[in-house]
Amino acid sequence: MKKTRRIETMFEILRIVVAMGIAYILAMLVLFLISEEPLEAIRNFAMGPLSTKRRFSSMLELMIPFMFTGSCMCMMYSANRFNLVGEGVFLFSGCIITFMAFVLEPLGLSSIVFPAVLIAIGALTGGIIASVPAVAREKLEVNEVVVSIMMNYALLYLSNYVLRNFMLDTSITYSASFALPEASRLAGIWHGTRLHMGIFVAIGAVILSWLFLYHTPTGLSIRICGLNAEFSRYSGIHVVASCMIAQILGGALAGMGGAVQILGLYDRFQWDSLTQYGFDGLLVSVLAKRNPILVPVAAFLLAYLRIGADIVNYSTDVPAEFVSVLQAIIILLVAAQEFLGRYKSKAIFNAARKSMDKAPAKEAN
Amino acid sequence: MLETYWNVEWIGSFLFSVIRISTPLIFAALGACFTKKAGLLNMALESMMLVGALCGVLASAASQSLFLGFLGAVAGAVAIAGIICYCAFFLKTDLYLTSISINLAASGGTVFILYLVCGQKSTSAGILKSLTIPKLTIPLIEKIPVLGAAVSGHNVLTYVAFFCVFLVYFLLKKTRIGLRIKSVGENPHAAESVGISVRRIQTISFLISGVFCGCAGAFMSMGYVSWFARDMLAGRGFISMSATNISNASPFLSMLSAMMFGLSQAIANALQITSAPAELVSALPYIMTILLVMLFALIRIGRRRRKMAKLAGAIQEE
């Protein structure tokens, strides 16, 4: 049994490595075919993210939202719910906390308490919003994907409305809110880069969601619901409550992410389209196999791919969007049970036969 | 204020826009009927339509032939359906996950191809000389006051969409493949036991759904507007899927609920020129979709509960 499990884990890892490898080779191929200076493009794609301090730090910056939305999707995906509202929540919570920053500014909170309060507000917003598709799914049996995707569009327009009507700064040339109060912003931690305190908040969130999912009874029942809803109902787990908790906490994580992103990187709220971080979270959670503790690794891989594509985008003639196709290939190959499945069965079979061959020998001794 | 709206011409043109906006939704909802009847949710309608729209523009611009352009749109959408089936049924990925990731790939991939062809990432307007599918005026009906303005002068594909409602009804009700699709959806094990390959039937249902999405995509980029723009579907695939779900995959009811969503979009468009805040008006169709889906779910649950109560009563009487 132990051997079988070891072979399975090995193949899980192998599958991720092979999937990333295939995607990477495909990326090289695409770059080679369409770029006029393919070697330059490939070098930029592979080595670019690590080449300078600024690029490396921007990769770490990009990991922050990925870690939040990745652990958000780990929560939802652990309960086998494809609640994609994280996308809209990320944007809308950024909008709400900017608004709240102006409301709370007269209180004169210190530069530690103020961001903490705002991040908490972001989490609360996220939890409340995510509960809508969750209730629709658990109580009304409405497909959560539909409701959450529709909500993403509604939240986008709602946030545009709040921005244009309540906090638009007309003294600047682009469409953005008033400047955020200085005390509300997250401090930078690496001189000469934009990397900010948010990365610690993100790591904290990842660790907390791992502890919750893998070391508490509620987390266990959430995961059992995700693996087999019928079984969990039969064994007396409250499926509705568990799945609701998973989705609301997931929403809260995405909300925190939106708040941290705004407070760490921007001096004004200026998002006028969906950020795509919520959908990236799905990729991160699939790569991390629904386990939050692996989220930082997955977030790093994705950020590496993204920054590489961005560098290719502005240094050569290849648009960065080719990465989105690669991402789909990675998701599909990692999630494919049959991919390398034949080799896995063969390995398990061989191991089993070997141990069977050994057993009679022991008896004879 | 009201007088500018409540006249015959305005009502005619409003109804016209309802029908026009509903066309892609009807096509996609009909496509979703097949997969729903086969027991699966097709969440990739969005990407099938998007790829169809792009392929239509590219094929018609390259060949300067309307027929080839339309064929290209359908082929693109069917190819996406094929990829999804290959992943979900042969590589055994989760169907939801497959659809969602294909949607993401399509929204980025179309922009990528658009950039390679046109050199810019937002639209193909003014760069690609793609064709549009002609409009059709109906001789006699055209003369009737409100009806003529609403029904005549639509794109050919709009009439095809309404014709397809009957076609889908016929396909599902009277043909061998339709009956097989339904039997697979109702009880896959029973179907398997009489020698129907569930996987094959489900693949076929996805491919048919791809054909309809191709038509919807062709309408979007070669009729509704005459260009391709990034993310031009804006959630229409999911709206169509909700329409099919609400109506329990009956083609006629799917058409009606698709038109209901078309109506809310048309109202939003009409409000756009009033003083109502534009952002909130734009959110209206999406909010309406959520509310309608929930309302119908409530009705369904209420009906089931009454049925159960009745059954319980009957058992007690015995």
The pLDDT tens digits for B212-250 are: 999 999 898 888 888 888 888 888 888 888 888 878 788
Label residue B152 by pLDDT band (50, 70, 90): confident
Radius of gyration of chain B (CA): 21
Please name each of the domains of chain A with its CATH number. Answer: 36-317 (1.10.3470)
Residue B139 CB partners (closer than 8 Å, separation 6+): none
Please say whether the beta carbons of A325 and B109 come within 8 A: yes
Q: Write out the two tokens for B129.
A: 């000389």
Alpha helices in A141-216 (DSSP H): 144-166, 198-215
pLDDT at B167 over 80: yes
Asked if the model's pLDDT at residue B166 lies above 70, the reply is yes
Mean pLDDT in residue range A91-105:
91
For residue A352, give the 3-state DSSP assignment: helix
Q: Is the pLDDT of residue A255 over 50?
A: yes
Among residues B11, B223, B220, B59, the alpha carbon closest in space to that of B135 is found at B223
Mean pLDDT of A244-252: 93
The answer to whether the CB atoms of A161 and B280 lie below 8 A apart is yes
Helix (H), strand (E) at residue B154: strand B154-155
* Separation CA B19–CA B11 (nearest Å): 12
Strand partners, B135: B155
**The token pair that represents B182 in the structure block:** 């339904």
Arithmetic mean of pLDDT, A26-43: 78
- Of A363, A305, A360, A350, the C-alpha closest to A27 is A305
Segment B132-150 shows an average pLDDT of: 73
Tokens of A261: 């992103």
Percent of chain B residues past pLDDT 90, beyond the cut: 11
Whether B283 and A157 lie within 8 Å, measured CB to CB: yes
CA B180, distance to chain mean position in Å, is: 23
User: 3-class SS at B96?
Assistant: helix
DSSP letter string, A221-290: HHHHHHH-HHHHHHTT--HHHHHHHHHHHHHHHHHHHHHHHHHHH-SS----S--SHHHHHHHHHHHTTT
Give residue A356's pLDDT.
78
Mean predicted confidence (pLDDT) in A259-272: 89
Hey, which residues 76-105 in chain B have their CB within 8 Å of chain A?
87, 90-94, 96-98, 100-102, 104-105
Q: Which of A315, A347, A330 lies closest to A37, judged by CA?
A: A315
| pLDDT value for A211 | 94
Mean pLDDT of chain A: 86
**Overall average pLDDT of the A253-260 stretch:** 94
Prediction ipTM score: 0.82
Q: Which two tokens stand for residue A65?
A: 């939202």
- Give A254→chain B minimum CA distance, Å: 19
When pLDDT is cut at 50, 70 and 90, the band that residue B4 belongs to is low
Using alpha carbons only, how large is chain A's radius of gyration in Å? 23
Do A97 and A263 form a contact (C-beta atoms < 8 A)?
A: yes
Choose, out of A312, A324, A333, A345, the residue to mutate when testing the contact with B (most B CBs < 10 Å).
A324
Those of residues 132-161 in A touching chain B at CB distance below 8 A are 132, 136, 140-143, 145-147, 149-151, 153-154, 156-158, 160-161
A residues 207-246 lying closer than 8 A (beta carbon) to B:
none
Residue B187, phi-psi category: left (phi > 0), alpha (psi -120 to 50), beta (remainder): beta
Pairing type for strands B154-155 and B135-136 reads antiparallel
Contacts of A143 in chain B (CB under 8 A): 41, 241-242, 245
- In one-letter notation, the amino acid at residue A51 is S
Greatest C-alpha distance within chain B: 76
In order of B169, B179, B188, B190, the CA distances from B196 in angstroms are 22, 11, 9, 9
pLDDT tens for each residue of A120-168: 999 999 999 999 999 998 888 888 888 888 899 899 999 999 998 888 8
Residue range A199-209: mean pLDDT, rounded: 93
Structure token digits, residue B27: 């096509």
Find residue B123's DSSP bridge partners: B229
* pLDDT computed for residue B1 by the predictor: 47
Residue B278 host element (H or E): helix B278-317
* pLDDT for residue B154 is more than 60: yes
Q: How far is CA B185 from the centre of its chain?
A: 20
The Cα B115–Cα B102 span in angstroms is 19
Six token digits for residue A3: 């051997």
